[in-house]
Every structure is written in structure tokens, then in C-alpha cells.
Amino acid sequence: MVLYLDAIWLLNLLIDACLLQLTAVLLKRQIHPCRLWCGAFTASAIVLILFTPFAILVTHPIGKVLFSMVIIFIAFGYHRLSIFLQNLAAFYFSAFAIGGGLFALHYFFQTSSVYANKGFLTTLNYGDPISWIMVVLGFPVLWLFSKKRMDQAVIRKWQSSMGASVTIQVLDLNIEARGMIDSGNKLYDPLTRAPVMFLSREACGDSLPDVLFHSEGGMEQLLAQEELSDEWKNRIVFIPYRAIDGSRRFTAAFRPDRVLIMHEGKIIECRKVCIALTENQLSPSGDFNSIIHPDMLLHGKVIESAS
């Protein structure tokens, strides 16, 4: 079998460059293009070393680890031991993720006749047209797939850090909700300067009077509803806000007895707050069903540790 060493080396150079870039993306590190390609060139040199008497240096497990450390040193440099080891671990994670994906894809498309003829041994050692096509086409797909999954993991971690459990107490009701702290929420009651949080119907179900979700007719029409008790009418306020189109509108809200927020191991009590209601789903993925005003955490009272 004829081996085109230059083609194999070029393919490895591109793959190593992509793996180093994926490592940088995973760790949110900046990597200079010159360092990236120098590291990729060093990593791809293993293809040439394998055909020399020094092959034993890069085929032994210890030699592989040392060679990987050289690659990471060239690509990312050395600042502290902990950072260097993070870079090394992320590089191995990227390589195993992509390599394992290619391995799985290759054998997923293999037929039983290949195994019967023991052709898989040839594939592993030298490569056939199918395996090379799988590498050339499958690597970019798996690279993009891995990057997308990592980005989503970062987003979900951020959302988790910005999330909190919420308990709303009003009259004789206790409403449990999943909240997200929105630093962009700057809505206040203009009269009392109480911060406004948002609560979706999904969170409260049928606990609250249905008319509270239909306030399009304004305050007078809402307060004229007979199904609203006087206790509820005394709690209702209308909060002005500016819509996306620039027009000034109003949304109905109510004043609860108190709101308890469990966040980062603390239970925070908020009494000066207004809760605006919405029919819309606040999170398409269902991660949260209420939006917490940041001032509720800033000015709320820590009453106890959640632990």
C-alpha cells in the first residue's frame, strides 16, 4: 500500500491546529496565531518521527505525555503550574472527544462484511478511502458540534449561577417559582420605588384570579371586576413601562406580603416589591418562570442560611 506521507502530515497539521483552537475556546484563552501554528506544526511532526529511529520516544506513554507538554508549552506558554495543567487536560479532553467521535462514526457506517474479512485491522493501521473521507468530513462536523455543546454548557452554567428559588406569599397563598436574576431589569413602581419582578402564569397556575392576567382595559376596568375581592383590589398597582416600539404602556402588578429568594446558600426576604403578571412563557427551555429584579437581592434582608 502506498502511503502519501505529505498528505497525512498536512491533514494532521490541520487537525492539530483545530484541536488547539478548540482547547483555547474551551478555556476562554487567547492564543496568538503564530503560537497556534507553531504548536500544530510541532504536534504534526509526530507523523515524521514515526518513520525515524526516534519513534520509540513518541510511542511510549511517558513519551506521549512529555510530547503533549511540549505542544502545550509552545501554544500557550507557561504562567503557573495549575494553568499549564489545565491547558494540558483541556487539550486531552478535546482530542479524546473528537477522536472518540470519529472512531464511533467510522464503525457506525461499517458493514458486517468488513469485520468478517478482518478489514478493520487494515483500516486501523493504514487507513482506507472510507476512513480518510470520514476524517476529512467528520472532523469539522465534530469540531463544530463540540464547540456548540461547550458554548451551551457555559450558557447553562451562567444561567444556573443566575438562578434562584422563589417563594411568593400573598394572603393565604404560597407560590413556588424558579427565578432568574436579570441585571437588565430596571422597572420600578414610580410611586413607591419598589422593584418589579415578573411572574408567568405557568408558575402560579390557577392560584391567582384570572382577571389579573387580563389588564388591557386599564385600572378602572380591572378594579370593577366583581370576582376580585377587596383584599386583592387594595394590592393592585399599575406599572408604566416603555414598549419596544417606544410607546408608553401599563402592566398590572400586585404587592405580596413577602417574597423569599433562596440564592447562593442564603434566604433573602423582600417585602417592598411588586409582582407583574404575564401570560407569556419567560423561558423557552423552561429553566425559569419568573424574573427577579437585582435590587431584591441587593436590598433584601438575609433571614437565614439555606443550609
Query: Which positions are annotated as active-site residues?
Result: 182
> Is residue 240 helix, strand or coil?
strand
Dist CA 307 CA 298 (whole Å): 20
**Cell 422597572 identifies what position?**
187
Dist CA 18 CA 39 (whole Å): 11
Q: Using CA atoms of 85, 91, 92, 94 in order, give the dihedral in degrees to the nearest 10.
A: 140
Q: Which of 236, 230, 247 is nearest to 276 (CA)?
A: 236
Asked whether 166 and 179 are in contact (CB, 8 A), the reply is: yes
Asked whether 17 and 36 are in contact (CB, 8 A), the reply is: yes
Cell readout for 224 is 370593577
